[in-house]
Amino acid sequence: MRRQSCSPCLVSSWKQGLFIVGFSLVFLFTILSPSLVVSTQTATASGVAIDNWWPIDGSSLGATETFKAVVPGRTLASYKLYWQVDNGALNLMSSSLQKPVHKKATVVLSGWKWQSTGAYAITFVAKDTAGVLLGRKTITVHVNVPATGGSSSTSSATGGGSSASSTSSAAPSINVWWPTDGAVLSGVQPFKVQLPNVAPADYRATWSVDGGQENTMADSQQDGPHKESLVDLTSWVWRGSGPYALTFRVYDSAGVLLDHRTLSISTGGTVGSSSTSSASSVTSVPSGGNPLSGISLFVQPDSPAKSQADAWRASRPADARQLDKIATHARSQWLGAWNANVGSDVSTTMSAAAAQGAVPTFVVYNIPQRDCGGYSAGGASSSDAYRAWIRSIASAIGSGRAIVILEPDAVALVSCLSAADRQTRMQLLQDAVSTFKAHAGVKLYLDAGHAGWVAPAEMATSLQQAGIAQADGFALNVSNFDTDTTSFQYGNQISSLLSGKHFVVDVSRNGLGPDGSQWCNPSGRALGRVPTVSTGTALVDAYLWIKAPGESDGTCNGGPSAGTFWAEYALGLAQRAAW
Phi-psi region of 521 (alpha: psi -120 to 50; beta: other; left: phi over 0): left
How far is Cα 295 from Cα 318, in angstroms, rounded to an integer? 32
Burial 508-519 (b: 16+ CB within 10 A, else e): bbbbbbbeeeeb
The H-or-E segment that residue 32 falls in is: helix 11-32
How far out from the chain centre does Cα 504 lie? 12
Burial class (CB in 10 A: 0-12, 13-18, 19+), 436: buried
Q: What are phi and psi of 39, to 5 degrees?
A: -70, 145
- CB–CB of 8/333 below 8 Å? yes
Please count the CA atoms within 13 angstroms of the CA of 422 that sit on its side-chain side: 12
- CB–CB of 109/61 below 8 Å? yes
CA dihedral sign, ordered 91, 94, 98, 102: positive
Q: How many CB atoms lie within 10 A of CB 41?
A: 13
The H-or-E segment that residue 559 falls in is: none
- CB–CB of 484/514 below 8 Å? no
Question: Catalytic residue positions?
Answer: 371, 409, 553
How far out from the chain centre does Cα 290 lie? 15
Q: Are strands 102-108 and 94-96 parallel, antiparallel or unpaired?
A: antiparallel
User: DSSP character for 506?
Assistant: E
The H-or-E segment that residue 351 falls in is: helix 342-356
Q: What is the 3-state secondary structure (H, E, C) of 275-337?
A: CCCCHHHCCCCCCCCCCCCCCCECCCCCCHHHHHHHHHCCCCHHHHHHHHHHHCCCCCEEECC
Q: What are phi and psi of 512, to 5 degrees?
A: -120, 15
User: DSSP character for 468?
Assistant: T
